Amino acid sequence: MTQPHHTLAETLEAISDLTPEQLERYIRAGVVVPVQSEQGPLFRDIDLARLSLVVDLAEGYHLDEEALALVLSLVDQLHGLRGDMRAILDAVAREPVETRVRLKAAIREVRVVTR
């Protein structure tokens, strides 16, 4: 299943508060990395979501490109951790009841110690 790609014009149209100059700065800062094609840069749906978030953060909190890149790096890390946690929970759910009960007790113990 291929993801749709959006041209530069489509991207700017989709994110009304994004200017061509801002987009160029965000690309240089590595906030988004478009796919390069013969037609020019192409943006995935995830790029549009990131750009929308970046515009909101830049306007709402007046963050520069370096700060935006840092915030997005943290968002990416959190997203990755959520995926890892979901996989762990799914794996634990497949275990026998005794194992799940034992793991639940061990997690409680560890959480009490680390608080």
Strands 40-44 and 5-6: antiparallel
Mean pLDDT of 22-44: 91
* Structural domains for the chain: 5-114 (1.10.1660)
Closest CA to 43 of 64, 22, 20, 12: 12
**Scanning the structure block, which residue is given the tokens 């113990």?**
109
Task: Report residue 49's pLDDT band, with 50, 70 and 90 as the boundaries.
Answer: very high
Mean pLDDT of 52-75: 88
Closest CA to 12 of 1, 2, 32: 32
Task: Report residue 31's pLDDT band, with 50, 70 and 90 as the boundaries.
Answer: confident
Max mean pLDDT range (23-27, 37-41, 81-85, 109-113): 81-85
Neighbours of 11 (CB within 10 A): 21
| Structure-block tokens of residue 42 | 């192409």
Q: Which residues on adjacent β-strands are paired with residue 5?
A: 44
Longest dimension (CA), the chain: 59
pLDDT at site 22: 92
Task: Report residue 115's pLDDT band, with 50, 70 and 90 as the boundaries.
Answer: confident
Neighbours of 51 (CB within 10 A): 23
Q: Per residue in 90-112, pLDDT tens? A: 999 999 999 999 999 999 999 88
Mean pLDDT of 18-40: 91
